[in-house]
Amino acid sequence: MHGKLLSKGLVSLVAALFLIPLQSIAQDLSGREIMEKLEDNRRATSNSALSRMQLSTCKFGVREGKITCAERPRVKSLESVGKGYGADLKDTRSVAILLDPPAERGIGMLSFIYDEGARDNETWLYLSALGRVKRIASGSSDDETEPGSLFGSEFTTEDQDTGKLDEYEINLLEETTESGREVWKIETIPNAERARKSRYSRSVLYVDKERFVELRIEMYDQYGKEIKRMLGARVELMNGIWVARSTTIMNLVTNRLSNMAFLEMHTGIDVPDEFLTQRTLTDAAFRETELEKLRAQID
Amino acid sequence: MIEIKKFVGFAATTLLVSLNHASAQDDVLVLDDDVQFDGDFTFDDDLFGAAFDEDSSANTSSWLDGFTIKISQQFSGQVNNHSVDIAPGFSLPRKADLETNRLGANIRYQNAFAPGWLLRASGQIRSYWKDDYEYEAAGDKIDIEYRVNEFFLQRSFGQHSLKFGRQTVVWGETVGNSVLDVINTAEFRDFNIIDIEDARLNQTMLVWDYFGENSNFSSFVNIYPEFNPAAVRGSPFFFEPQFNLTDYDRDSSMLFEAGTQWRRSFEGSDISFMAAYLYENQLRYEDPANLIGDAVAETNDFFLLGFSANRAIGKLLLNFDLAYSHDVLADSFSFPGTASLANPVNLKKDQIGTSMGFEYAISNEQSVSLGIQAQMLLDEDEGLLPGQSLINDGVFGSWLVRYSNTLMNSDLVISSTLQGDLAANSLLALVGADYTINDNWAVGGQIINITSNEESPLLFFAEDVRLSATITYSF
C-alpha cells in the first residue's frame, strides 16, 4: 500500500512538474501559435493512423429544452487510414472507406490535404456506377454522395482542413471556460483569397488550454449569422494524443446535425505510401490485403 | 388508363409513406429553418453514446458479410395521349400506357477470401408482372429473367493486379458521353435508363493493371467480344424488322479485342493515353441472300487511339477526351429494310472524335455539368459512288447538361438532365427525385419529356411524357 501511494505521489509530482511549465508557456502563446499547436494535434490523429469511426446524421429538434434528434439518425461506419507528408509532415494523405450501410459499402475517398494555401486540396472518389476513379473538384457533388461533405454528413472537407493558416487573420479574443474547462477563445477570419473558397466569413474556436482540442467552434456566414456549430466531447487520451472522441456539428440553417464518434484510433502505424494512392480505391484485393496488414499491427 | 391510375396511385402512396416515415417524432419540437441560435444551448451526445459501448473485439466476420442485396419494384409508362405525324397523311397514335411493372433484385457479392485474392459477383433477377411489356411479350404470363453482371476473380501481388472474368473497362473522362467509352457494350432497353453508366454491360476479359511509382498501366484482352443486344420485343425501342435480327455467327472466325491505357496523375490533373484493337459494339445487319431467312449480322474491327485529361481549378473540373478511330464503318447503324442504294455498304473510314465538358460545384449541394461529344469522318466523300451519301456527314454528335441539388443532408437528391443532338433535331428532358427514407428504404421518381423533328430517330417518341416510380429496399 505504501509503495502504491508513493508511486501515485511520484506520478502526480512528475505530472505537476510537466504541467506547470506547460501552463506557463501556454499563457504566453499568441492566437497563431495556439492554432499551430491545435493543428499539430489534429494532424497527429491522422498521421500514420488507422481509425474506425461512426457517422450519425439526423434532423434535430428540441425535447425538454435540449437539442436532440427529431428522427432516427442515419448511421454510417467507416475506416480511415492517414499519413503525414511534406515539410514537418504538414500535408496529409488519407483514404476513407465506407463499411456500412450495405448500399454504400466499398465507396472510397482519397484525399490529399496540403498545408500551403496556394495548393488546392485534391480528392478522388471511386463510384462503382461509373466504374472508375473520379477526380472531384472542391465542393463538387453527384448522385451518390456529396464529396464536399464527408459521405453526406454535415462534416465538410473544409471543416476537417488543416494548414493554410497564413490565409487567416487570427485573433485571441479572451480566456474563458467551456464545458467546465479553461479555454482560449480565438477568432479566425479568412483573407480575400481564402474567403472565395470558404463557406465561412469568420469562425470562433474554444480551445482547451491544456489539451489543445477544440471544445466548440462557431462558424459564421458572410452576413455574420452563425450557420454551424461544432461541439467536442469525450476528450480522451488515445495513443498519447488528446482526442475529442465525440464531435458533433450542427447546421443551424438546415437544422441537421452529424456526430462523428471515434470508435478506434491507432497511431504509429506503418502505412505504406502505395496504400495512399488511387490503387486503394480501385484494387479491392490489394486494399483488403493491406488493411489486414495494418490491422495486424494493432494486434 | 386504369393501369396508369394504379401507377400514379402507387407513386403517390410511396411518396406519402416516405414523407410520413421521415416526419418528426411526436414529442420533439421541430425547429424552423430560420431559428436563431444566439448564445448557448444545451446539447449532450448521450444519444450517440451507444457507439462507444460497442465492443469492437466482439465483431465477427462471416462470408455472408460480402453480400449486398437491393430489391426494387418499378413502374413506368408513357402518360400523354397523342399522335405523331411520321409522314404526310400518316400519323402514329401514342396512347398512355403502362410499360413496366417489375420486381427486381440486384445481388452483389465480394469476398477477399485470401491475401491478395478477391472474388466479386453481381447479378440481377427480374420478375415481370401484368402490364409489363415483357409480360405481354411472353404471352400474358409472368416472366422471369436473370443476368450475371460482374463475375471475376482478382489476384493482386506487388505492383500488379490480374482480373479474369466478366467486368467493365471504362475509358475517358467525360461522364455520360465520352468518345472513348467504347470498350463495353450497352443496352438501352427502357427510357428510364438513359445514362451510359446504367446501361453498360460486362464482358469476359483478362485485365492486367501495373501500378508504377508515378504512373499506371492498364491492359485488357477480350477473347469473347459481345455486341449491343437487339431491342427486346415489346420494349419502347423495338420495331418489327423485315427479317429477324440474330446474333453474330461465331463459327466463321475467332474474335478478340485488346487494348492498353497509360495513366498519370499530376497535382490538379490526370492524363491518359490509350490504344486498342476493337470491334464496333453495334452489329451491322444486311438483308439475307435471296431475301429468305434471318438478317445477316456483320462485325467490323477497327483501331482506336485516344487521349484524355482533366484539370481541377477550384470548384471547376474540366474534362477532355480525344479519339482517333481507324477503319470504322461509315454506316454501321444499318438495319434490314432501312438501308437503301443511296447509302454506301461496308465502306470503312477514319474518324476523329472529341468529348469535352466541365463539372462545376455551385455550392456543396448543387452542381452543374456539361458534356459535348462531336465526331467527324475523315475524307467522307472518298469511296462514295455517284448519288451515294453518308448517314452521318459533317460533324455529328450530342450534348448533355446535368444539374443536381442535394437537399436535406443528401436524403433528397433532385436532378435534371437535358440531352440533345448537335443538329438540334431532338431534345430529351428528364427531371428526377430520389429520396432516402433510411439506411434501407429509398424511393425515386422521374419525368421524361421528348421533343423531336422528323430528322431524328426519336421522332417516334416525340411529345412522349414518361413517368416512372421506384421503391427500393437494400440490405
Contact across the interface for A279 and B361, Cβ inside 8 Å: no
Q: Which of A67, A91, A247, A266 to mutate to test the interface with B (most CBs of B within 10 A)?
A: A67
As a whole number of angstroms, the distance between CA A84 and CA B360 comes to 30
B47–chain A nearest CA distance, Å: 8
For residue A16, the model assigns a pLDDT of 44
Strands A122-127 and A108-113: antiparallel
Contact A82, A92 (CB under 8 A): yes
Between B474 and B249, the more confident residue is B474
Going by pLDDT thresholds of 50, 70 and 90, the confidence category of residue B29 is low
Mean pLDDT along residues A237-247: 86
Return d(Cα B107, Cα B129) in angstroms, integer.
20
Interface test with B, best of A51, A124, A133, A141 (most B CBs within 10 A): A141
Chain A residue closest to B361 (CA)? A140
Q: Span B241-247, mean pLDDT?
A: 77
B86/A286: higher pLDDT: A286
Among A41, A157, A150, which Cα is nearest to A97's?
A150
Nearest to B364 among A101, A102, A156 (CB): A156
Does residue B9 carry a pLDDT above 70? no
Residue whose C-alpha cell is 446539447: B43
Q: Is there a contact between A239 and A266 (Cβ–Cβ < 8 Å)?
A: yes
Averaged pLDDT of chain A: 81
DSSP B457: G
Contact A134 B117 (CB under 8 A): no
Q: How far apart, in whole angstroms, are the C-alpha atoms of residue A55 and residue A149? A: 12
In three-state form (DSSP H/G/I as H, E/B as E, the rest C), the secondary structure along B426-447 is EEEEEEEEEEECCCCEEEEEEE
Is the pLDDT at B460 greater than 80, yes or no? yes
Say yes or no for a CB contact (<8 Å) between A70 and B28: yes
Say if B356 falls within a structural domain: yes
Bigger pLDDT: B32 or B133? B133
CB contact under 8 A, B118 and A68: no
Interface contact B315, partner A, CB < 8 A? yes
Interface of B with A in 318-357 (CB under 8 A): none
Query: d(Cα B417, Cα B432) in Å, to the nearest integer?
Result: 9
Mean pLDDT of B460-475: 91
A7 pLDDT above the threshold of 60: no
Q: Which of B23, B35, B361 is facing A137, going by the closest CB pair?
A: B361
Nearest by Cα to A253 from B43, B408, B362, B40: B408
- Where in the sequence is the domain holding B230, given as residue range(s)? 158-195+202-362
Q: What is the pTM of this model?
A: 0.78
**For chain B, how many structural domains are there in total?**
1
Note whether B215 contacts A: Cβ–Cβ < 8 A.
no
Residues in chain A with CB shorter than 8 Å from the CB of B48 are 54, 56, 73, 246, 248, 259, 261
| Helix, coil or strand: residue B62 | coil
Closest to B168 (Cβ–Cβ): which among A63, A131, A226?
A131
B314–chain A Cβ distance below 8 A for any pair:
yes
Among B51, B156, B360, beta carbon nearest to A54: B51
Specify the CATH architecture of the domain A29-298: Clam (2.50)
Residue A101 preceded by cis peptide, ω within 30: yes
Nearest to B148 by CA among B129, B127, B166, B175: B166
- Let me know: does B365 contact A141? Beta carbons within 8 Å: yes
* Contact check, Cβ <8 Å, B361/A255: no
- Cell digits of residue B10: 402507387
Q: Which of A138, A215, A277, A292 to mutate to test the interface with B (most CBs of B within 10 A)?
A: A138
Q: Name the helix (H) or strand (E) containing A296.
A: helix A284-298
Q: Give the pLDDT mean for B149-164.
A: 95
* pLDDT for res A218: 92
Is B312–A101 a contact, with Cβ atoms under 8 angstroms apart?
no
Terminal Cα-to-Cα distance of chain B (whole angstroms):
35
Q: What percent of chain B has pLDDT over 90?
A: 39
Which has the higher per-residue pLDDT, B26 or B420? B420
Pick from B299, B321, B295, B326: which is nearest to B310 by CA?
B321
**Which position has the higher pLDDT, A71 or A282?**
A282
For the segment B350-396, what is each residue's pLDDT rounded down to a tens digit?
Answer: 999 999 999 888 876 788 999 999 999 988 888 777 777 777 778 98
Chain B CA closest to residue A256: B409
CA dihedral A263, A269, A273, A277 (to 10 degrees): -10
Scan for cell 499551430, then name that residue: A36
Size of interface A-B (CB pairs under 8 A): 226
Instruction: Tell me whether residues B361 and A59 touch, CB distance under 8 A.
Output: no
Q: Are A233 and A262 in contact (CB under 8 A)?
A: no
Chain A residues whose beta carbon lies within 8 Å of the beta carbon of residue B366: 141
How far does the CA of residue B24 sit from the closest CA of chain A (Å)?
Answer: 5
Cell of B68: 449486398
Whether pLDDT at B211 is above 70: yes
Among the partner residues A101, A229, A246, nearest to B45 by beta-carbon distance: A246
What is the rounded CA–CA span in Å between residue A130 and residue A114? 27
pLDDT at B15 over 70: no
Within a domain: B59 = no
CB B317 to CB A120 under 8 A? Answer: no
- B210-213 long-range CB contacts below 8 Å, 24 or more apart? B210/B159, B210/B160, B211/A274, B211/A277, B211/A279, B211/A283, B211/B159, B211/B160, B211/B161, B212/B159
* Residue of B70, B170, B365 lying closest to A141 (CB–CB): B365
Residue B436 has pLDDT above 70, yes or no: yes
Range B145-172 average pLDDT: 93
Q: Determine the residue type at A75.
A: V
Percent of chain B with pLDDT strictly greater than 70: 84
Residue A139 has pLDDT above 50, yes or no: no
> Is the pLDDT higher at A165 or at A147?
A165
**Chain centroid offset of residue B26 CA:** 42
Higher pLDDT, B244 or A26: B244
Interface contact A154-B25, CB threshold 8 A: no
Neighbour count for residue A136 (Cβ, 10 Å):
26
Tell me which of A24 and A111 has the higher pLDDT.
A111
Spatial CB neighbours of A177, under 8 Å, sequence gap ≥ 6: A183
Domain range annotation of chain A: 29-298
CA distance B73 to B132: 12
pLDDT at B197 over 80: no
3-state percent helix, strand, coil for chain B, nearest multiple of 5? 10, 50, 40
Question: In this complex, do B33 and A255 lie within 8 Å of one another by their Cβ atoms?
Answer: yes
Find where cell 502563446 sits: A29
Tell me: pLDDT of A121 over 70.
yes
